[in-house]
Amino acid sequence: MAAEPPKIAHGERVALALGAGGARGLAQIGVIEALQARGLQIDAVAGSSSGALVGGIFAAGRLHEFREQLEAMTRGDFLRLLFDPAVGKGGLFHGDRLIERMREVVGNPDIETLAMPFVAVAVDLLRQREVWLRSGPLWTAIRASFAIPGLFTAAEVHGRELVDGGLLAPLPIAATRLSDAHRLIAVDMHGWPRRPPGSPTEDEPEPDVSALARFGAWFERRIGQQAQRAVEGEGGIGLTETMARALDTMQAQISRVQLALDPPELVIRIPRDACLFYEFWRAKELIAIGRAEAEKALDEAGY
């Protein structure tokens, strides 16, 4: 019978490992809010992919402002930022517009100047190894960590072509061990589904005939509807949804191994069906899910 993990004492320094999971990574904003509301002292953070995005902004002390920005974004706002074509350059999008918008909200600090130690995990495709980015411009590190292969172009950092950290470290527990924190809380983005197969509730987009709207319609048709049909069991899974599910399956399995090899004091699990991987405009709902799941885990652990 496995021993119970030690309980985190009041005032003990805690490191936070934030997982990769596309748009559902935004749920980790709610997780952080719940942890702070219970008085847990987060002194270090490591993140992969969207976990690096949330973790870096938290370490910069701008999570509240970032949350307000996200919750104000519509589907059209997100598609407008995403529409930064890079076809023929190793990915569909550059990601520069997304970074610039977030830089306006958060600023452009170096990692060394942040309020707490922060590690963004990326992957060097040439050397096939994890890369821990612990210094230099914050947005360079975050951009490298969420560079999903095929979707975003790789980020060049110190002469290396870096892509999404979730490929090898979807739950970057090891990267937190460089900190002086005594305890670890991990957020696993591959929890058990909350509901039976079915489509998420969404508002209908406003009619528009612009180029952006045509791109949005194409994006929804080629990606969103494929995902919906797959969830509902209507026909086969399309190429994009196949790639997304394959990546998610791989990350879920690696996360299980990482948790078994180096178990944290507390694990908070976000349901894997909280949203589709690109639904960043559902931030308000996702943050609420993260807060609820964190509170449930904290209650069950006796905090």
Active site residue 203: no
Instruction: Say which of 49, 50, 145, 255 is annotated catalytic.
Output: 49
Instruction: Say which of 50, 164, 179, 255 is annotated catalytic.
Output: 164
Contact criterion met (CB below 8 Å) for 56 and 146? no
Nearest to 202 by CA among 125, 277, 281, 141: 281
DSSP state of 278: T
Task: Print burial letters for 186-217: b (CB count within 10 Å at least 16), e (below 16).
Answer: bbbbbbeeeeeeeebeeeeeeeeeeeeeeebe
Tokens 């470290």 locate to 169
Active site residue 49: yes
Alpha helices in the chain (DSSP H): 27-37, 50-59, 63-72, 75-82, 96-106, 138-145, 173-176, 211-219, 225-232, 239-261, 283-301
CA 147 – CA 152 distance, rounded (Å):
5
For 57, other C-beta atoms within 10 Å of its C-beta total: 26
Q: How far is CA 187 from CA 7, 58, 150, 191, in A?
A: 17, 15, 26, 10
With vertex at residue 134, the alpha carbon angle to CA 132 and CA 136, rounded to the nearest 5 degrees, is: 120
Instruction: Give me 53's structure tokens.
Output: 């995005």
CA 7 – CA 301 distance, rounded (Å):
8
Task: Print burial letters for 94-122: b (CB count within 10 Å at least 16), e (below 16).
Answer: bbeebbebbeeebeebebeebebbbbbbb
**Residues classed as catalytic:** 49, 164
